[in-house]
Amino acid sequence: MKINDPEIQKNVYCKLLAILLLLEWICRRITYVLKYAKPVFFPPATYIHLEIKVKTNFKYIYMAKIVVLGAGISGHTAAAFLKKKLGRVHEVVVVSPGAYYQWIPSNIWVGVGKMTIDQVRFKLQPVYDRWKIDFRQAKATAVFPEGDQAMDRPYISIEYTGEARRGETDKIDYDYLVNATGPKLNFEATEGLGPNKFTHSVCSCDHAVATWGALQTCMLRMEEGEKLRFLIGTGHPTATCQGAAFEYALNVAYEIKSRGLLHMAEITWISNEYELGDFGMGGAFIKRGGYVTPTKVFSESIFAEYGIRWIKRAGVSKIEEGLAHYETLDGQMHTQPFDFAMLIPAFAGVGLKAFDKVGEDITAKLFAPSGFMKVDADYSGKAFEDWSVDDWPSVYQNPAFANIFATGIAFAPPHQISKPIKSPNGTLITPAPPRTGMPSGVIGKIVALNIVDQILTGRTVFKHRASMGKMGAACVVSAGFSLLKGNAATMTVFPIVPDWQKFPEWGRDLNYTMGEAGLAGHWIKLFLHYMFIHKAKGYPFWWLLPE
C-alpha cells in the first residue's frame, strides 16, 4: 500500500470531508439548541406568547412564513441566516427575477476581461434546494400588507420571469416580509444613457461582459494607431456608487498601460462630487502613513499617478453618440466627447406598489418618493445642517407595518450625507448616499436575526441593530489586476455616516478610518472575492465568514 496512491488519497480526502461536514452539522445543532431550545419550551413569557398566537393565528406556533424579495448581497444573506436559524419548521421563500446570484463588486474585473461571467455568478436554485428555501424566479410587483377582500393574510403579488412560467402571476402570503430588492438602474433618468444606447455599464455582470467587448474593440483601434477618448464616472447629477466607477477607471487605465497604449488614450473622470473622493459620504479624513489625509488628496494623487484627468461638480444631463452633455455647479453647460463611456446611472426603488384591504393605493405609506422603502429613520426633511446620525435607521422596520423590513439599497436613507448643492439653474448636483456591500450584508443579517428572535421567543424588542451612523465599513478599490504587479486602495471608515458630535474634529474615528494603496490590497480583494462566493454558495462554515 503506497501513501501516494491516488485512490488511497481520494479515499482519505473523502473521509476528511465527511468528518468536517459532520462536525459542522454537530456545531450547528449545539448552537441552535443552546440559543433557542430553552425559550421555545420553558419560560412563562413564551407560554403567554404561544397562547396569544393560538388565539390569533394557529399557524404561527408551528410555522412562520418569511418572504425575502431579492437575492442580492442583502437578501441572500438574510435568507441564508433565516433558514439556518429557523430550520425546517419555518418556511423561507425567496423571490428574485434572475436565476443567478452575482457578486457585483467583481463585475469590475469582468468589465476589463480579467474574470469571466461565470466566475462572478452562480445559479441560485441548487443552493436554495440544498438549504430547503422555496425559490421563485419572479419579480415582486405589489405588496398587500393587510391582504385583500379575497385573502385574509398579508401577501405580495409576483410575476414569474423564469422560462417555464414567464409572465404568469401569483400571490405569496407571508408573516414577515424582507424587501431587499436593491436599486432600479434608472438609465431612463438621463437621455441617451446606458447599454443599447450610447454608454456602457458594469452594474450587472451582463452589462460588464458587453462593456469588456467594447473595451477590447477600443484596444484594437488604439493598437492600429487611433487615439481614443475614454469617459468614466457618473451619468446623472444625483447618481451614487462613485466607488465602483472610480475602480473601473483605474482598471481601464491599468489595462491600457499594461498594453503600452497609454499615449494613445485620453482618460477622463466625470463626477457629480464636489471634490474627488467624496464617494457620496461627504468624503473622509483618513489616517495614512501617520498623516491625516482627506480622500480628495488620496483620490487625486491616484488619478494623477494613472494619468487620468477629471471633471468634478458635473451633472450629466444628456448623452448623444460620442458626446456627453453636462452642467457644472456654476450653472455652465458643457460637452465632453468620447469614444468609450462607462457612466453609472441614477438609482431608484424598483417600483413596488402597495394596496390596502379595499384596494386603495397606499404606496406613499410604505415607500419614499424615490421608490425606496421607509424604515425606522427620521424622514421629517430637516435642513441638512440639522441632521444627526440618530436620524439613521437601526432595525430597518417599516413604520406602518411591523412585519415588513427593508435591507441594503432598498431602504430609503433619511437624508444626503454629502452636502446637497444646487446650480443657479436649480439642478441638484450631489451624490446620493451610497449603501455598499458590507452594510447591505450586515443589515440583511441583523434583520434576519431579529425576525428569528421574534418567531422563536415572541420578544418584540430588537436585540440586533446596525445603524450606518454606528457601524464601520471596509472597501477595497481595485486599481489593477495582477498577482505580482496589481494594485488596490484599501479603505476603512468608522462610522459610515459621519458623527460630528462624537468626533467633532474629523467626523469619524481616525483609529478605524484608514487607507493604504499597494499590491497587498489586490491580494485582499482577490481573497475577498473567493471568500464571499464561498459564503454565498453556503459551503462549509459559511456562517462564520463576515459580511
Residue 4, Cβ density class (10 Å: 0-12 exposed, 13-18 middle, ≥19 buried): exposed
Minimal distance in Å, beta carbon 542 to ligand FAD?
Answer: 17
State how far the Cα of 496 lies from the Cα of 513, in Å rounded to an integer.
10
Please identify which residue in 180, 253, 284, 448 interacts with ligand FAD, judged by CB under 6 A: 180
177 counts as binding ligand FAD under rule CB under 6 A: no
* Cα separation, 532 vs 544, whole angstroms: 11
| Residues from 84 through 103 that contact ligand FAD (CB under 6 A) | 95-98
Total Cβ atoms within 10 A of residue 107:
27
Q: Does 264 bind ligand FAD (CB under 6 A)?
A: no
Smallest distance, Å, CB 34 to ligand FAD? 30
Walk across the sheet containing 308-311 and list its strands.
308-311, 265-270, 228-234, 340-344
Q: Which of 431, 437, 486, 521 binds ligand FAD (CB under 6 A)?
A: 437
Distance of closest approach, residue 133 Cβ to ligand FAD, in angstroms: 14
What's phi and psi for 110, nearest 5 deg?
Answer: -65, -40
Residues 264/222, Cβ–Cβ less than 8 Å: yes
- Return the number of the residue (199 or 436) whose C-beta is nearest ligand FAD: 436
Residue 21 CB, shortest distance to ligand FAD, in Å, is 28
Residue of the chain from 350, 377, 417, 496 that contacts ligand FAD (CB under 6 A): 350
d(CA 410, CA 375): 10
The pattern of x and - marking residues 210 through 249 that bind ligand FAD according to CB under 6 A reads -------------------------------x--x-----
Q: Are 489 and 479 in contact (CB under 8 A)?
A: yes
Sheet of strand 323-328, all strands in order from the earlier edge strand to the far edge? 314-320, 323-328, 333-337
280 binds ligand FAD (CB under 6 A): no
Stretch that binds ligand FAD, among 38-46, 251-259, 366-374, 406-414 (CB under 6 A): 406-414
Q: Strand, coil or helix: what is 82?
A: helix
- Answer left, alpha or beta for residue 259, where phi above 0 means left and psi between -120 and 50 means alpha: alpha
Please give the residues from 134 up to 153 whose contact with ligand FAD meets the rule CB under 6 A: 139-140
Residue in 36, 72, 277, 486 binding ligand FAD, rule: CB under 6 A: 72
104 lies in the binding site for ligand FAD (CB under 6 A): yes
Q: How many residues bind ligand FAD (CB under 6 A)?
A: 34
Least Å from the CB of residue 536 to ligand FAD: 11
Distance, in Å, from the CA atom of 340 to the CA atom of 255, rounded to the nearest integer, reads 14
Do residues 265 and 227 lie in contact, with contact meaning Cβ atoms separated by under 8 Å?
yes
Residue 512 carries which DSSP code?
T
Closest distance of CB 186 from ligand FAD, Å: 13
Q: Does 194 bind ligand FAD (CB under 6 A)?
A: no
Q: Quick one: 156 or 314, whose CB is closer to ligand FAD?
A: 156
Residues 285-344 that bind ligand FAD (CB under 6 A): none
Nearest distance in Å: CB 332, ligand FAD: 30
User: Which residue from 193, 203, 265, 324 is in contact with ligand FAD, where contact means CB under 6 A?
Assistant: 203
**Nearest-angstrom CA–CA distance, 128 and 461:** 30
**Shortest spacing between CB 302 and ligand FAD, in angstroms:** 15
b/e 135-171 (16+ beta carbons within 10 angstroms → b): bbbbbbebbbbbbbeeeeebbbbbbbbeeeeeeeeee
**Which residue, 75 or 495, has its beta carbon nearer to ligand FAD?**
75
Determine the Cα–Cα distance for residues 311 and 324; give it in Å rounded to an integer. 12
Cβ–Cβ < 8 Å for 177, 69: yes
277 belongs to the binding site for ligand FAD (CB under 6 A): no
Distance CA 161, CA 233 (A): 31
Cβ at position 386, least distance to ligand FAD in Å: 27
Q: Which of the residues 451 through 480 are near ligand FAD (CB under 6 A)? A: 475
Cell of 233: 464616472
Of the candidates 66, 375, 438, 442, which one interacts with ligand FAD according to CB under 6 A? 438
Q: How far is the CB of 116 from ligand FAD (least distance, A)?
A: 16
Identify the residue among 113, 145, 154, 182 touching ligand FAD (CB under 6 A). 182
Nearest to 110 by CA among 218, 247, 309, 267: 247
Could you tell me whether strands 340-344 and 346-348 are parallel, antiparallel, or unpaired per DSSP bridges?
unpaired
**Is 435 one of the binding residues for ligand FAD (CB under 6 A)?**
yes
Q: Least separation, in Å, of the C-beta of 454 and ligand FAD?
A: 22
User: Does residue 496 belong to the site contacting ligand FAD (CB under 6 A)?
Assistant: no
Alpha-carbon torsion angle 159, 162, 164, 167, nearest 10: 30
Site for ligand FAD in 40-69 (CB under 6 A): 69
Minimum CB separation of residue 78 from ligand FAD in Å reads 9
CA distances from 73 to 255, 366, 467, 485 (A): 28, 22, 17, 30
Comparison of 239 and 256: residue with beta carbon closer to ligand FAD: 239
Compute the distance between CA of residue 441 and CA of residue 19 in angstroms, rounded to an integer.
30
Minimum CB separation of residue 447 from ligand FAD in Å reads: 12
Indicate whether 415 belongs to the interface with ligand FAD (CB under 6 A): no
Positions in the binding site for ligand FAD (CB under 6 A): 69-75, 95-98, 104-105, 107-108, 139-140, 180-182, 202-203, 241, 244, 350, 408-410, 435-438, 440, 475
